[in-house]
Amino acid sequence: MTKFVALNISISEDGYMAGPNQSLENPMGEGGMPLHGWVFPTKAFREQFGNEGGEVGKDNDFVTRGFSNIGASILGRNMFGPVRGKWGEENWRGWWGEEPVFKHPVFVLTHYPRESIHFGNGTVFHFITEGVERAHALALESANGNDVRVGGGASTLRQFIELGLLDELHLAVSPIKLCAGEKLLTNPEDQLRNYRKLESVQTSVEHVTYLKR
């Protein structure tokens, strides 16, 4: 049975997924990249980009699961790139170059229509203007029984949580304060009322998992 999961979502101690002022130079906003410092050394992450070596252990286990059994992904516009407003010449093809790591259909939420982008490794970016529930339906169909990964950003994830469309949320809480940027939850106690919290796992970050009741 297909589940909608948000795994390896790095957030700051004060609840931000990204810093302010996203740009080409700061893909995760100003000060946001260190939130993902726990991911980069892991063996599973390095393998995704064709590199050898890397660390194993609890962090690596979480990263490995984040890449496993995924048949489709959903992203918000800001996770696809720094372009705002109309697409213009449409020459932006995502942060991942010509061999994106997904290798499955990816549904990008946007207010501006755009033709799908096909890559040779199975990745296809589809641009969805009809909202979260339409992206949910299309991803469910495309996943062929595998899970759907909801990758963010904060607004997209928040909508999935509040609409009850997310089955599992795994946060990696970094001991960093950003104080500004894209906050995931504005009222966690209320927004997560329909989820139960599992026992957390401590590494250099705190891994916290919530399952839908």
Candidate from 86-95, 101-110, 120-129 with smallest mean pLDDT: 86-95
**125 lies in some domain:** yes
Element (H, E) at 158: helix 154-162
Residue 40 in tokens: 């980069």
Q: How far apart are CA 8 and CA 66, in angstroms?
A: 7
Domain count, the chain: 1
Is 90 inside a domain boundary? no
Task: Decide: residue 98, CB within 10 A, 0-12 exposed, 13-18 middle, 19+ buried.
Answer: exposed
Q: Give the model confidence (pLDDT) of 10-48 as tens digits.
A: 999 999 999 999 888 898 999 999 999 999 999 999 998
In this prediction, residues 45-67 reach a mean pLDDT of 95
Q: Please report whether residue 70 resides in a domain.
A: yes
- The answer to the question of residue 66 being in a domain is yes
Give the pLDDT confidence of 91-105 residue by residue, as tens digits. Answer: 899 999 999 999 999
Residue 87 located in a structural domain: no
> Residue 152 has what pLDDT?
86
| Residue the block writes with tokens 């991803």 | 139
Domain that holds residue 152: 4-82+99-212
93 within a domain of the structure (yes/no): no
Determine, yes or no, domain membership for 181.
yes
Question: What CATH code is carried by the domain that includes residue 160?
Answer: 3.40.430.10
Q: Domain for residue 33, yes or no?
A: yes
3-class DSSP assignment, residue 46: helix
Is pLDDT above 90 for 205?
yes
